Every structure is written in C-alpha cells, then in structure tokens.
A and B are shown apart, each in its own frame.
Chain A
Amino acid sequence: MAHITLNQYLQQVLEAIDSRDGAFCAEMLSFKHPHVANPRLQLSSPEEKCQQLLEPPYDEMVAAHLRCTFAVSNHDFVEAYKCQTVVVQYPLSFQAHKEENCSSSLCMCGKGKVGDMLEKAAEQLMSCFRVCASDNRAGIDDSKKWGMLFLINQLFKIYFKINKLHLCKPLIRAIDSSNLKDDYSTAQRVTYKYYVGRKAMFDSDFKQAEEYLSFSFTHCHRSCQRNKRLILIYLLPVKMLLGHMPTHQLLKKYDLMQFADVTKAVSEGNLLLLNEALVKHETFFIRCGIFLILEKLKIITYRNLFKKVYHLLKTHQLPLDAFLVALKMMKVEDVDIDEVQCILANLIYMGHIKGYISHQHQKLVVSKQNPFPPLSSVS
C-alpha cells in the first residue's frame, strides 16, 4: 500500500466509492494511512489524473487530499491545511466514518497551525457536525450520527487549545440528548469523557470531573500509556481535592513525579513544601492548565495542618494563636490573627472543620465528634 502508483490508488478509491465501502474510502483519504507517506502520491497537481478517473466531487476531494500529502511532506502546513479544507468541504454525502477520518486528518493538519487556523478548522468541523447531527432520516445503523462523537471530540480538542471552553456546552448537550450516547465506540467515549471531565474540572465541578475522568482512565486501552498519563494529569488533582491521594507507585508508573511532592505536602499539611513544589513545577502545571487547581490544594493543606494542631492540643477549644504559630512556621507571609480567623472561617464554611469561632474569646471550638471529617465526605 505504501508504494502503489497513483493510478492504483485512484483505482482503489474508485472501487471503494463504487462499492460504497465507506470505511475503506475513508482510509484512502485519511492521514493515518500509510499511503500518505508514499512519495508517488505526493503530487503538487494531481487534479488531472483524479479528474479522469473519478466523478465529482470525489475527484476534487482526492486531488485535494493528494496535494495535501504533498504539502505535508514539504512541511508546508498552511498549504496543507488549505487543501485539507477543500477535502472536508464535501461531507454531505458521506457516511459517518468517512467523515471521521476526513476530519481526523484535518485535525492532524490543524495542529501545526496558529490560532486562527484552528478556529477555521473548528468552523469546518462544526459544519460537518451539523450535517451529522441533522441526519435524522437514516437508519440507526448507518446514521451519520455515529460520526458526531468523533467530530465533537475533535472540536473539543480545538476548543481546549484555543481556550474557548464555552463553545463546548452545546456539543455536550447534543451528546447528552443523544440516544446513542452509550453506544459509541469505547475509544470515542473515553476521549469524550476526558474532555468533558476536564471541562467540569475547570468549572470547579470536581465531583463530575472525577466521574468522567475516572471513566476515561479505567476504560482507556491499557496499551495507551500516553493517553492514560494525560488523563491522570487531570484526574490526580481532582482526586486529591476530593481526598484521594495517589500512591507513589502510580506516579512513578506514569512518570508524574511532579505530583510526588505535592501529594506529600498535602497529606502532611506541609504548606511550605507545597508552595515549594508548586513553584518548582509551576511551568509544567501551568502548561497543563492545572496550576490553579493544584493551588486549591492549599485549602486541604490548611485543613491537614490544623488537624495536626488539634491533635497536638487535644482539646476542643483551640486558641487561634496556636494556628497563627503553625502558619508562621510554614512561613506564610504577613499572617495575622484576622487571617487565621479568615482561613478557619473558610474551612468551616466549606465543611472541612466542624466547629465555630468565638470571636470574643479568640478560640476555635470544634465538634467533639469527628471535627475534621474525611475529605471524601465533604461537600
């Protein structure tokens, strides 16, 4: 396949079209297929040949595709993108999986592009998506709706890249209302939940995020270590926020040792270490977009720290000064008694501490039963 001539290639495409073999046809237009690397197919002007063999619009598609391979091989991604756009202009008559691969190749091209290209790509995909979504007539088996999830995933990918998470909402709604929701391929569902989980995390809906990301992680194919790692990058902070600390083994297995110190600091209530860890791996965390999430671990850390104070003092009436000392030990700058009250207030408000502050006596009065409820039970 990798060394076929142009004529052979076109012949195959023609056969695929004639025999309505959408899957194969899609392969022939896909960028994941080995034919892409075939120098014999990388032509700068394949129009004429295609025109002779295929009927419109297929000839145009194939020609554009071939030229696209040519452009990619020359690392001319912009040109490639333009070609690919042409390819994708004809989604209307395709079966679902055909579209899938079309757009998949589009996204591969899109990667190399700057932001506005991505947005254009998103528009193209969106039009494909609309076609899929509006395909109500076809039977369930060959409905274009099967292509929806794939397109949505690609759209997610772009939207996350260009930071337009708000655009994801209608897509999620479309899938939620789809009766095929649970029948899509596992791979697609894993991807979908991964993105939806990430979105939920950014929306601070950690319970949901944990649910989606856990699904993703557990259903992700075991050989897809890279994907699993990607999922973990988001699943770990969420889990930690909810009180589940990753084991050292897990971090090691997926090469996520950046989290090791964070994990340790949080569970120990070591605010100092946490700050150091965050600063140390700040770029990594920021690049992954989880820095702000990890920062929220400080609250958990406070809780753990104060829990230690409680255990040390072994009383239900804790003087606020004790917490002040603890915070100062952690080298929190400019901390004063009012801030201690503020932090405590937040912890109590969020349910991490059962008790109240007596402003008059400057004491924290904690519940005699389970004053620091386990994180997993909180909110």
Chain B
Amino acid sequence: MAVNAAQQAPTPNWPYGSNSSGEGQVHENPEWEKARKALASITKSQNSTKTSPTNLTPQQTGPYQPTDSPAMQQQQYYQQWYQQNQQQYAGYPYPYNYYYPMPPYGGPYPPGQYGVQGGYQTPTTPTGQAPAMPMMEDQSSSYSSQPPPPATPQPPPQSPTSTDQPPPPPIPPPPNAQFPPSPSQTPYNPNGTLPYSPTDSNPMMQGYNSGQIRPGYQGYQAPAYLPPQQQAPGQGPYGGPGRVDAKKPNNSNMNKGDQQPWQRMKQAPGTGAVKFNIQKRPYVMGNQNFTSGDQAPGLASPTAANPSPGSAPGTSNTSTGSAQTRPQDWPQAMKEYVQRCFTACESEEDKDRTEKVLKDLLQSRLQDGSAYTIDWTREPLPDLKPKQSRWEAIPQRSQENAIGRGGATRGRGGARLGNYRNVFSQRSPSSSSSRSSSRSPSPHSRHRDRSRHHRSDSGSQSDSSMSSDLRLPLSRRQQKAARGRGGERGRGRGAAGERGRGRGKANRGRRNMEDLSGGIGKKRKGGNAGLDFHDPNREAKKQSRAARFHTKLRTEPLVLNINVFDLPNGTQEGLSWDECPIVGTCQDITKNYLRLTCAPDPSTVRPVSVLRKSLIAVKAHWKSNQDYVYACEQMKSIRQDLTVQGVRTDFTVEVYETHARIALEKGDHEEFNQCQTQLKALYKDCPSDNVGEFTSYRLIYYIFTKNSGDLTTELVYLTPELRADPCVAHALELRTAWALGNFHRFFRLYKNAPRMAAYLIDKFVERERNLALRAILKTFRPSVPVEYVQSSLAFPDLDSCVAFLTGLGVTFTPSDPSKIDCKVSSVSLTTS
C-alpha cells in the first residue's frame, strides 16, 4: 500500500509542520483510500451490509460489524463517553463493554433521576445527542450524588443468558423494570448489534447495576463510575466486541481490502501506552485500546448504523439499504465532494470523523434522492465538531481525582489513570474544544498537542493491526505528513474551511488532553513536539472562524410565499354572501334582531317582499309611537336580512336611509354612522335621490369632528351636480361660515337647515355658541343686549338664551338685566 510506503519513508526529524512534498504525495493515497472506503462503506450499508455473526464475535471481528443505521451514528457520542468510562475501568478484566454507558447517567437529567428517563431515553431518541453534552457535565458533578443503581441485583454479568436479540423496549422502562429484562438482552448479543439499538440502553443499565454489586469497584470509584464497569461485566465478553464494532465499523468495511495495512499503520503508535486496553478491544492486543477507543467513535459512527437491535445476521440491515446506489452510480459531483471532504482532513481523526459524517449524509442523500439533485459543489463540508466540547475537561478531572483517591487498588488505579487519560485524549480531540486553549496558542501547547495527537493516532491505528508497534512511530510521522499535506492541498482547492474547523478542534482537544494527562503525553512530547508548528494551524483557525459564516444553503426548494391579501374591507362580507345567496322563507313582518353567529337559516330570513312590508310597518310604528328602541331593532333585523341575502338594490338604500334618519333624529350616532358607511358604498351602485342629503350630512359630520382632512377629501369628490344640491350647498356654506368663525351666518344657516341637518348640527351647536359668545363678549363694549345674542346665536327664544348665558356665568349689567356686561363676563368666561 501506498500507506505503507509512506510509513517507510522515515522522516526521523519531523520538522514542524513542514510537509515534505514527497511525503505529501505519498499520503495522498491514504486520503483517497479513505474516500473510497467511505464510499464503499456507504454502499455496503445501503446494501445492508450483513453483519455476519462471525464479525460480531467477541473477537476482533466485532469491529467489522456493519451497522450503518443512522441510529448508530447518533449514538456515537454516547459511545465516546462510554469509552471514557470504560477506560477508567479498563483495568478491569471485563472484556465486554457496552457502548451505551451514557444512558445510565442520564446526563441531561438531574442525577437523581438517573435511573428513570434520562439514561434510557437519550440513547433512543435521535435528539439524544444533544443531551449527551450536558451529560458529561452531570457526570462530573453528579458522581457522588447519583444513587447507586437500583438495588435490584442484576444477574451476575456473565450469568445472563444473553439472547442475541433482546426485544428492544421502545420506551425506557423505569429503572427497576429494566433490570429484569436486561440480563437476557444485552450482554450476550453475539451480534454485538444490541449496543447500538436504542433499546439496548436498558441492557446497559442492567450491566451497570450488576456492576454495582461488586464491592470492589464501588469502593474506590464514585458510584457514577461504577456503572460502566459493571456494565462491562454484565455484558460479558460479548459486549466488548460489540463495542468495538461500533467504533470501528469502518474498519470492518475497510478491512476488506487494502485498507487493513493502512490501519495497521495507525495502530502502531498507540500500542506502547496502555496495558488494560485489551478488555475493550480484545483483538487489539496491547495498550492501543485507548487510542483505539478515541478513534473508534469516529469510525464507529459511520458504521454504527445497525439499528436493528437484535439483528443478528444483519440481514435486516441489508433490506433497509436500498440497492439503488452503487458507488459507480453516484453522481460525479458527489464523488468529488467526498474527495474534497477527505482532502480537507488534516488528521486521521478528522478523517475518521469525516467518514462517519459523510456516511450519514450520503446515505440520507442517496436514499431521498437528493444526492442527484443538489449542487454538490456548494454542499458544505461536513462539520466534524462533536458537540460535547466544553464539558469534557471538567468531568475528566473529577474522574481522575476519584480514581486517585481510590486507594484500594493503587496499582490498578494508576493504570487506569493512564488509560483514562488516554481515553480522554483520544476523545478530546474529537469532542472537546475548550475555547481557552484555542485562544492562547502558545507554542508549547502546540507541541503537546502534537504529542497527544500522535498518541491518539496510534490508538486508532492499533485497532486493525495488533502487531505494528514498531511501525508506529513511522506511521505517525507519515500521518502527520499526510495531514500537513492534506491541509495544504485543501487550502489550495479552497475547500479549506471545513478542514480548518476540524483542525481547530483537534488542537483544542489535544491541549486539553495535555493539561489533564501528564505522563504519557509528555513521553511523546519529546519526540514529536515540534511537528505541529506549521502555519496551517493558524490558517485553520482563521478558516474555522470564517467557517462560522459559511453559507448554509437551504435544502428544500425555495418557494416564494406570495401571500394572498385579504379582500378589501367592505367587499369581504358581500362576497361571501354573494357566493352562497340564500332566499329567505320567513313570512313574519317583524323580527327581533339577533347577531348572527353562524350560517343563516333561510327559514328565519325574510324575503325582500316581506321586508318591504316590514319597512312600511316600522315606519308607521315609528311615526305613531316614536319608539326608537323598537324601530332600531326592527331596522337592524331588516338590514341583516338584506345583507344575508345579498340584496343591494334601491330598497336596500331606502332601508338604510330610513334607518339613518331615524337614528339621526334620536341622536343615535352609532347606527347613523353605520348607515352612512353603507350608504356611501351603496350609492355607487344604486344612486338615489337622497345622495345630496346624505352627502351633506357627511360634510356636516366632518365639521362636527373637525376633521379637516376628510373634509378636504370629501370636497375633492364633490361633483358640480352635487354641489348644486341644496343640501350640499347648504352644508358647504355652513362649512365656510364655520371655518371663518362667521357665527352669524353659521347660525342663520343652522336655522334654515334643510331636511334633518339641524339634528346633526345640534351635536355641536353648543360648542359653536360658546366660541361665538366669547368673541362677542370680547368685542362689544360696554354691553350687548341679550336679544342680539339670542338672534345671533339662533336661540329659539329669550329664555333659553338666558339659561345658556347664566349657565356660563355671564354677568348682566346691574342697571339693565337685559344687557350683558361684556367686560366682566368676558373675564369670567375666559377664566372659567
């Protein structure tokens, strides 16, 4: 393999960041391979890669499980998490680790809840990822707090007769409930698929509980930690492999062909460090487990898909995978896109992550067919960022502390620590992006980062190839070179954005790791420290910053939402009535008005012929009785019937005019205005002889409201014919007099008001009289006769005038009570 070649190429002194061109070339191949792998894996998944039971076997085969179901991917986070925990326990001989330690912790939920929802639900629900982050925190804080798993003793881990396919309980049973089923389910799944299925979480729980039982662990470890350990035992040997599978599904896929060599290279670095790893990955012989664990998440995710909880033979998966898409069939653009993604990767971890992300993405794209339609060239590169970022650091520390305290098994503890750290380190690159680290890029930190990075790399590599310890250093170097290369290339192509991000994360992660883990990292440091120093880092950061603004194009077709506006006000009602005209059948002449709240019933609606009689009857009744309440109600019911039947004729006009007059006479301005509004609209269709009359009313009403704006608009629409109308002419004159303060003329017009205009003027005549009186009192000296005021202000008689005057506090001259003392009155009037 080209990869091998790359390894061989010894770059003993790896200069910082310097990517020798030659090496870079060599490395290109690996990237391509990655891409190919990814594609292949996808196809496999789609085809429903058979998770052959053999693969699942606790032995190394585990990693190969092709579990492509998206659910798996979701759980990636959990897995990582879980791994951490496991690593702590790595010391333990439990080979079987579950992937889903997460649920027991129920991270998102307060520790107390632990048993119940949190743990279980999270894994099942796709959204569960998000909670994963909080979980981390919770763990740290909650370690002590969390109640040990329910006392219900689980069957000893090994004891459970593991049915390969535990029925996946869709809903997380209450903690207690979970336990009983658990034994059967999880631990023994030969397929290893179980861990992936959301339902598996329950089994996890079980395992956890059982673990608690063990006194030894509890002793030194915080309860929180226990669960993972315990789980491990419960799951027994099977769990281990299953987990492995999850982590390195890719490998499984990859392994099938050339890729194995590639993986070996990776492995090499990890081998040195940890002893306990074995449990996790039985197949991985040595320490590499830790590292492998880190990488695992990345790899696992893509493959992790096996959704079918029990799917022993993976056949079920196959069914899901639509045979539709073969890599050959893929759109060229998409292939290129995949390539771009991988070229953008700078580190192996990135690649792994990219791979899994890509897998999801492509799969979904292919399935819904959008792969052929979307513009791949504009597709953003996958975001590698794991979501947990911030929280990790803290939990780690706390965990470490806990471990440190646990004096009982010192030796072990130490070992665990080591593992633990490793795990962390591994994990951190992917997940944790402590911002502080990114901010302060001190060279020192970079070195460290480097070192860790190597470690992690080694781990990942270790997975596939057990033996390659010797190769490790070389492989690392190569990888680095490859990274550097990849980065450069990516930049050149302009695809750098994503890569940058990945980088940034990786760096941050590394740093964190450094901080946390002293020993191992340092060892590596010496050798590798300088490597990372090349610019790409900075650029990557920049790009990652820029990536924030990366455009996300909308996925669904854009449809302009040109809204339909409401119909113009008046017409809406009319239209609706017009559409479904009804003809009334009611023959009653009188009818009480009821506001309609539902569709009108024809039997209660009077036809026009009846309404005519009704109108006459109402008029007669009004003339004889002057009962406005009655008249108004009857008129309203008539109006309603007309509206309901969509009648807009001269008769309608007549009804409204009648009602308007009656309302005007009684000073019911509400009804009057309603009628006026309707009449204005009606006159456009059915002009009547009374247009002038009601136009004049409108003008006068504007005077009343002092609405000069509407008055002006009204003037605009006055046709000469209308102006000639006596009513309108009068109203116009009145308006002029009013505007000029010519009260004499105003009141003269008031006295001569045609039709019912006087009723309207009555509304504001007081106001005008008041104003006029002020002018009079201020103007005349020394006095003014009451008669003059009475005639000028159009009082019907002297008494009413006097009453008005006295009401205002006007003073009469002492000598002659028929005269007003203007000076005194003016003062009192203005002050009042």
Contacts and interface: CB of A to CB of B under 8 A. Distances in A.
B595 interface: no
B781 A338 contact: no
A59 interface: yes
Contacts of B780: 345, 356-359
B710 interface: yes
A54 to B, nearest CB: 7
Contacts of B796: none
A59 B558 contact: yes
Interface string A29-55: 000000000000000000110111111
A83 B562 contact: yes
Interface string A1-42: 000000000000010001000000000000000000000000
A296 interface: yes
A50 B558 contact: yes
The listed residue with most A CB atoms (<10 A of its CB), out of B712, B742, B778, is: B712
Contacts of B439: none
A287 B741 CA distance: 24
A16 to B, nearest CB: 13
B470 interface: no
A346 interface: yes
B827 interface: no
Nearest to B746: A342
Interface in B626-658: none
B680 interface: no
A359 B565 contact: no
A103 interface: no
Contacts of B741: 299, 346, 349-350
A215 interface: no
A359 B740 contact: no
A116 B560 contact: no
B560 A67 contact: yes
Interface stretch (B57-65, B292-300, B525-533, B546-554): B546-554
Given A60-B558, A356-B779, A54 B551 contact: yes
B568 A349 contact: no
Interface string B697-719: 00000000000111111011000
A304 interface: no
B562 A345 contact: no
B563 interface: yes
A330 interface: no
Given A165-B709, A345-B775, A345-B780, A339 B554 contact: no
Contacts of A92: none
A74 B232 CA distance: 73
Contacts of B568: 114, 116
What bracket does the count of chain A residues touching chain B fall in?
A: 35 or more
Given A52-B375, A59-B558, A342 B744 contact: yes
Interface in B228-247: none
A289 B713 CA distance: 8
Given A85-B563, A359-B785, A51 B778 contact: no
Contacts of B712: 286, 289, 291-292
Nearest to B791: A338
Nearest to A20: B549
A48 B549 contact: no
Interface string A146-178: 000000000000000001010000000000000
B781 A64 contact: no
A215 to B, nearest CB: 23
Interface in A182-231: 202
A295 to B, nearest CB: 6
Contact of A120 (B565, B713, B740): B565
A338 B551 CA distance: 81
B559 interface: yes
Interface in B765-810: 772, 774-776, 778-785, 788, 791-792
A18 B549 contact: yes
Contact of B739 (A50, A83, A295): A295
A64 B561 CA distance: 9
Contacts of A365: 781
B736 interface: yes
Contacts of B549: 18
Given A51-B557, A202-B708, A359-B785, A296 B562 contact: no
Nearest to A82: B562
B744 A54 contact: no
Given A67-B560, A120-B565, A348-B778, A359 B783 contact: yes
B569 interface: yes
A82 B563 CA distance: 7
B557 A48 contact: yes
Contacts of B591: none
Interface string B726-743: 000000000010011111
A274 interface: no
Contact of A346 (B569, B775, B792): B775
Interface in A330-379: 334, 338-339, 341-346, 348-350, 356-360, 365
A334 B733 CA distance: 12
A239 interface: no
Contacts of A350: 741
B562 A356 contact: no
B378 interface: yes
A251 interface: no
Contacts of A139: none
A292 B711 contact: yes
Contact of A342 (B708, B715, B743, B782): B743
Nearest to B741: A346
Nearest to A204: B708
Given A54-B551, A357-B779, A346 B715 contact: no
Nearest to B779: A345
Interface in B147-180: none
Contacts of B784: 359
Nearest to A78: B565
Given A82-B563, A348-B778, A292 B739 contact: yes
B561 A349 contact: no
A341 B708 contact: no
A348 B781 CA distance: 12
A82 B564 CA distance: 8
Given A82-B563, A358-B781, A359-B784, A59 B554 contact: yes
Interface string B804-825: 0000000000000000000000
A133 interface: no
Given A296-B740, A344-B779, A54 B553 contact: yes
Most buried by A among B558, B743, B780, B781: B558
Given A289-B709, A349-B778, A356-B781, 12 more contacts: A18-B549, A51-B558, A63-B558, A82-B565, A83-B562, A86-B563, A163-B709, A291-B715, A338-B788, A342-B742, A358-B782, A365-B781
17 contacts: A48-B558, A51-B554, A56-B552, A163-B710, A299-B741, A338-B792, A343-B742, A344-B779, A348-B775, A348-B778, A348-B779, A349-B775, A349-B779, A356-B781, A357-B780, A358-B781, A359-B788
* Top-5 shortest CB links A-B: A342-B744, A345-B779, A349-B775, A356-B781, A55-B551
Interface of A: 14, 18, 47-48, 50-56, 59-60, 63-64, 67, 79, 82-83, 85-86, 114, 116-117, 120, 163, 165, 202, 286-287, 289, 291-292, 295-296, 298-299, 334, 338-339, 341-346, 348-350, 356-360, 365
